[in-house]
Structures are given as structure tokens and as C-alpha cells.
Amino acid sequence: MRLLRIEMRRALHRRAVRVLIAIALFGCAIAGVVSFVGSSGKSVAELRFDDEGHPAIMTEWWIAEANEGFLIIAVFFLLMGGLIGGATVAGGEWRHGTVTTLLTWEPRRLRLHGARSASAAILAFVISFGLQILFLASFLPAVFAHGTTEGVDGSFWAGLVVAMTRSSALTAGAALLAVALATLARNTAFAVITVFAWMVVVENLVRGLRPSLSRWLWGENLGTVMTWGQLPDEDFTRGPMVALLTLLAYGGAVVAVATVSFQRRDIAAAS
Amino acid sequence: MTNVIEIEGLRKTYRRRRGTTVAVDGLDLEVPAGGVFGFLGPNGSGKTTTIRCLLGLARPTDGSLRLLGQSVPAGLGDAMRRTGAIVETPALFPTMTARENLRLLGSVDGIGMRRVDETLELVGLAERSDDLVKKYSLGMRQRLALAAAVLKEPDILVLDEPANGLDPVGMREVRDLLRGLAAEGRTVFVSSHILAEVEQTCDRVAILTGGRCITHGTVDEVMAAAGHQASMLVKVDDLAEGQRVLREAGLQAERAEDALRVALDPTAAGDVTRLLAAAGHWVTELRPDRISLEDVFLELTSEHQEEAHQPEKEVAA
């Protein structure tokens, strides 16, 4: 626990982590202003029947039955933030050589790597959850000034909290994956570029050339887990539980390889 | 006397594109408890690799290491609680203050703020302890790294070039600090290129070249092993007569430029002056003929340079 607390404090001292949080807070403020300005002068009926919905109608934040809502907008950015933050936490240690210093205090590498991975995942979860609250709270002025809370009941809040928890867990997973990749390569950029190259280039190529393999792609599995429903895609027929297991298998394999690598490799000076 | 470091047959190789580089080649070393032990060698001699293996940062290709009686790496968890270390460039969190850095490191072992403040005072950083480390000079970072190493009040300090980046005042302070720690019964194992510092600080030394230990022992033993006896330089007006007098007395006296080199410990200077004075030769100058550790180091390592660059050091893959 002591090591976990230390790793959390170290992670929060990373400039990149602080910048990411600042950008997210700025994004929340912008979202709040846009929703307020966009809803002004409109009646509740106009807002309700807007084709894309409007966050001034509180029930549009998350529609559990349809597995969609404004919350989804935040998820993409949170996953990116989790990825970059996690990569920075591990990559920065290698870049500055602080991993060497820490290993002279805690030479049991599995403990250290475990604490670092866990701290990145826990922080990603908590920060992600907090940012989602702020993101949705930024719509409150628009809700109270121009919109409505009609239809908001216990089941709405329950569905919303479950969706926020799910997206926070996915953000934690992204951070964990990034820590593993950055540990493998001893480099922040490697982790970020690898994930983006995989998601944007490789997966799009597979989608175009071998759509039957789409059930193995991260994108589809992520979308299924996030919405916890079936994707409207005839090539992707997996349910959320199988999609979750697929993602866990991918993540588990990368984390295992990174852990073994960290346990066995020589620790060089700052790279 | 118990050994705090025991290294037996340590071998460390690195795979390269064109074969294998041998960084440490069958090193045997024992470091007794207490005192300051100098670990010397030219660049690439395997000092840092040995320290890395000792601290579990690198895996030996062959051989065994024990630190404070614990096998490395299996027993490092226990051994490192009693070991402070600096390895190469000191690396601490640049966006934290010195105090925060030490507090965070100290919390790994449950060390409190009072000890952190004591340590900052000890290394002369108390006044700048609330500055961010990224604003520190190299010398200040080195002091902070030293603070991190002594923070847990270790039984042994393993320091890789601790005087790097320090000005003369800083070097003197570090020397005093290391001597002070040794006087408290701790063992200080220090690798360094600054041989004048080592000579003034260390009780024992080991000299490495080409990944092998070529000599070790007390500083005097190493000097003697290199074939350098204690001697003194004596000046008299008539060198030839003076030499004859000394030789007749059974002393070894050689001409050395404008003086005589007498193979006798300088503590016996009185005997020499008495002999010469009795024969009517007045000594105009008498001084110890010291050779430095640096001279011995250069002599010993240059002898092994050729061997270190033999083709067998590069084993084809």
C-alpha cells in the first residue's frame, strides 16, 4: 500500500498528467459554455426534438435503453487521456532514470511494477470518473436555465452511474495497457504511437480487407463494452461479455509480457 | 573481519550486433565491513556494471554476488533496506522539491520528516530544500543523490562517482562526509576516477581493468604490490660522497637528478641525517619520495591495456 501511494504521488507529479487534466477541465468548461449558448432562446420542446438531442435535457446525458447519450463524447477523450497518461507515467521513469533510483529502495521489481501499474489504473479510474462528473455538471446551467430534468428518476441515475463506471474502467484499462507498452519499450512515444497505429491503420485495414476478422478488433470490442449492447454491425456479432473477455485477453497478454520483461531486463541509465 | 560484499566469478556480457562484449570477466572481490573502499578503473573497465549487478539492476551472465550476507538478487529485498546507493547520474523527480523527493523515497521504508531534514542539513541543502530539483545544478543534484543514499542510515553505501559535478569545496565536504560515515562503523564502497580524492579518502582499494580486478588491498599494499617501496629524497652538496656513506651503512641509495633516493621509510629520516652528518655531509633538503595512487593506477592499468584489447574480449556470436 505504501508503494502504491508513492507511485500515485509520483504519477500526479508528472507534468504531462497535470497538463492532460488541465486540458480536460478546459474541455468541460467549453462544453458547458457551448451547451448553455446553444440552448438559449430555445424552448424545452425545441431542445427535446433536436435531431441530435441536447444536453440541456438531462435525460439525454445517458439513455440506458439505447446505450447512448452525451456521455459517449467524453469517453473517447478519456481513453486517449488514459493512454497518454499511463504511457507518460511509465515512460517518464525510463526517460529520467528515476526507475533506477527507486529500485535502489525497492529492488523487488514485481512489487514495483505491480504498484506502478495499479496506481496508473486507479488514478485513471478516479480521474476519469471525476472528469465525467465535471463534464456532465458543466451542462447544469443549461439544464436549469433553458432545459429540463423531467424524466430523471432513480433508474436514470443508476444507468448513468453504471455507464460512467464502465467508461472509467475502460480508461483504467487504457492506462494499464499504456504502462505495459511504455515499460516494454522504455519509451512514452512508443506506447502512444503503437496504440494509435494499431487502431487507426491496422484495424481499418482489417475492416476493409477481412471484415470477418472484425470480431478480433479492439475498436468493435471497445464499442460493445462501452455501450454494453450489440453493435449495429453484421460482421460483429459478439455480445458485451465476450467482447470484454476479448479485451481482457489482449490486455492481459501485453501486461504479462511487459511484467516478465521488466522483471528480467537490465536497467540502464536514463534512456 | 566479515565481508559486506562478496563477488565470485562475476561475468557480464552484452550481446552486440557483431558478437558479444565482455563487460566484467570473472571478477572476484571481497569488501570487508567498515572503512572506505575505493573501486577504481578506467572507463569501460566494468565498475558500473559490477555495481549494477550488485544492486540487482543488471543480471550477471555468470558468477555469484552477496551483499550484506544476502544473495543477489534473491535476498536484495532485505539487503537494500540497509544499503544506500547512487548509480551514475543522480536521477530524482525534477518537478518535486528536494524535500518532497526525499520524503517520498523515505516513505518506502517508513522514514519520517525529521530524518529527511537532518539529511538535507548533512549534505548542505537545507536552505534550498524547497526548490524544485529541476532548478538544481549538477553539484546540487549530486548532493541530493547523496542525501537519498544516506537517508536510510545504511550499513553500506554503494556510490558510483559521488564527486561528479562537485566543486572543490563540495568534494571536500563529500570526503569528510564519507570519512564520517566510515568512522560511525559503516562501509562506504565508492567508485571514482578522481584518484587524489580516493587516496585521501579510502582505506582499501581495488583496481579494475578489462573487467578484471588486477590488484586490491590497502592503499599501501597496492603501492607495494606495484613495486613501489617507501623512500625519501635527500640532498647534500656532494652527492657521490653522500651515496658512498649511505651505501656503506647498508642503505640502498640511488642518484635521482640532483638528490639521492634512499629506500627507507621517511619516518627513519633521523637515521639518514645522523649518518650523513657524522661523515661531515650536511643535509640541505630531505623529503618523502611519494608516488601517488594515480601513478600506480596508470602504471597498472596501462600494463593491462593490451590484454584488455585482445581479440578474445570480443567473442564472435
A148 to chain B, any CB pair closer than 8 A? The answer is: no
Whether residue B73 is preceded by a cis peptide bond, meaning omega within 30 degrees of 0, is: yes
> Which residues in chain B are closer than 8 Å to A97, comparing Cβ atoms?
88-89, 91
Identify the H or E element spanning B269. helix B269-278
pLDDT of B315 > 60? The answer is no
Q: ipTM of the predicted structure?
A: 0.77
Give the predicted TM-score (pTM) of the model: 0.81
Cβ distance A101 to B90 less than 8 Å, yes or no, reads yes
pLDDT in tens, B45-79: 889 999 999 999 999 999 999 999 999 888 898 99
pLDDT in tens, A161-210: 999 999 999 999 999 999 999 999 998 999 999 999 999 999 999 988 98
> Which residues in chain A are closer than 8 Å to B52, comparing Cβ atoms?
266-267
Judge whether B3 and B33 are in contact, CB under 8 Å.
Answer: yes
* B104: nearest CB among A9, A267, A270: A9
- Cell reading at A3: 508503494
Distance CA B182, CA B188 (A): 6
* B57: nearest CB among A100, A105, A106: A100
Work out the end-to-end distance of chain A between its first and last CA atoms, rounded to an integer number of angstroms.
29
Mean pLDDT of all residues in chain A?
90
pLDDT in tens, B186-202: 999 999 877 777 888 88
CB contact set of B201 (below 8 Å; sequence gap of 6+): B36, B38, B175, B178, B179, B190
Judge whether A86 and A179 are in contact, CB under 8 Å.
Answer: yes
CB contact set of B181 (below 8 Å; sequence gap of 6+): B150, B157, B188
Count of helix runs (H) and strand runs (E) in chain B: 11, 15
CA distance B77 to chain A (A): 6
Q: Binning pLDDT at 50, 70 and 90, where does residue B314 land?
A: very low
Cβ distance B104 to A6 less than 8 Å, yes or no, reads yes
pLDDT of res. B245: 92
Distance CA A169, CA A214 (A): 23
Q: Kindly report the backbone phi and psi dihedral angles of residue B271, in degrees, each rounded to the nearest multiple of 5, phi listed first.
A: -60, -40
> Which residues in chain A are closer than 8 Å to B91, comparing Cβ atoms?
96-98, 100-101, 269-270
pLDDT of B304 > 70? The answer is no
Three-state SS string over A158-172 comes to HHHHHHHHHHHHHHH
Q: B139: how many CB neighbours lie within 10 A of its CB? A: 17
Cβ distance A13 to B93 less than 8 Å, yes or no, reads yes
- Local structure of residue A202 (DSSP, 8 states): I
A101 to chain B, any CB pair closer than 8 A? The answer is: yes
